[in-house]
Amino acid sequence: MKKLKLILLICMLIIGLLLIFINPIQNAIIAHLSDQLNTTDYSTEDIEENKNAAADFEFEAVQSLSIGEVLKAKASIDDLPIIGSIVIPNVQLQLPILKGVGKSVLAVGAGTMKPTQQLGKGNYALASHYFKGKDILFGPLYHTEIGDLIYLTDLTNIYEYKLSVKEIIEATDVFVIEDTENTILTLITCTEDGKQRLMVQADFVAQYPLNEAPGVLTNALSLS
């Protein structure tokens, strides 16, 4: 009986430690995977191929990220459909842009919310997860300010936007990602309670070749 009680006590201790450390471990893996993809060499040909990859666009079905999904993303990282990068220098946000909003995609970067959207045209919408108090994935959006510059690239061009709207919206306000006559960027992430969404929108400023990237992007995009 004493032996059984000891085994149960050890099991409870292990479970307790896992509950304490599971979130820090998960967050560390996410940050590592995002950094790994940011420094991965990929070409314009890779991007064009990934644009044709099958993808999930059911954002309404997105749930809180679990450690299992993070580990699954880690195992499939070489197969994830990278189609570009997003950089917000003022809040040190740099993430890969991937096609769709599948679980593995949202575990490592920013996912495209519509199947036919194109950079520099209409309303380009991206989504990613938020973790309270953590500057990973779209967490840094909470530190952005009106006027911040946001840069997207597909390795051919740089697309520059200026932040113009930052507000909390309802989870049902899907109209914010609908196409518009103006060229804008819409970024979506969850609020702390998960019941609403933080929406950041930015107006299109300019498009220019990758080799004309401003100095602030040189290191972020590993340009010489």
**Mean pLDDT, rounded, for 85-112:** 91
pLDDT value of residue 40: 65
Q: How many CB atoms lie within 10 A of CB 71?
A: 13
Catalytic hit among 11, 32, 129, 143: 129
Decide if 176 contacts 196 (C-beta within 8 A). Answer: no
pLDDT at residue 213, rounded to an integer: 79
Q: Which residues is 179 bridged to in the sheet?
A: none
d(CA 198, CA 142) in angstroms, rounded, equals: 8
- Binning pLDDT at 50, 70 and 90, where does residue 41 land? confident
Alpha-carbon separation of residue 51 from 54, 159, 220 (angstroms): 9, 17, 23
Average pLDDT, the chain: 80
Please report which confidence band the pLDDT of residue 13 belongs to, taking 50, 70 and 90 as the band edges. Answer: very low
| 37/121 Cα distance (integer angstroms) | 25
CA distance 200 to 155: 24
Looking at residue 178, its pLDDT comes to: 92
- Give the angle subtended at the CA of 197 by the CAs of 196 and 202, to the nearest 5°: 155
- Give catalytic status of residue 129 as yes or no: yes
Helix count and strand count (H, E) for the chain = 5, 8
Burial bucket for residue 153 (CB in 10 Å: 0-12, 13-18, 19+): buried
Domain 2-218 is found in CATH 2.40.260.10: yes
What pLDDT is attached to residue 80?
84
Q: Return the top range by mean pLDDT from 6-20, 119-133, 173-187.
A: 173-187
Band of residue 64 on the pLDDT scale cut at 50, 70, 90: low
Candidate from 44-48, 96-100, 155-159 with smallest mean pLDDT: 44-48
Cα–Cα distance for residue pair 202/180, rounded to 1 Å = 13
Q: What is the mean pLDDT of residues 79-93?
A: 92
10 Å Cβ neighbour count for 213? 19
List CB contacts of 53: < 8 A, sequence separation 6 or more. Answer: 81, 99
> 0.85 cut: is pTM over it?
no
pLDDT class of 22 with cuts at 50, 70, 90: very low
Greater pLDDT, 155 or 185: 185
190 noted as active-site residue: yes
Look at 89 and 58; give whichever has higher pLDDT.
89
211/53 Cα distance (integer angstroms): 27
* Catalytic residue from among 11, 32, 143, 190: 190
| 105-156: pLDDT as tens digits | 888 889 999 999 999 999 999 999 887 766 888 999 999 999 999 999 998 9
The domains of the chain are located at 2-218
Higher pLDDT, 14 or 66: 66
Position 15 scores a pLDDT of 40
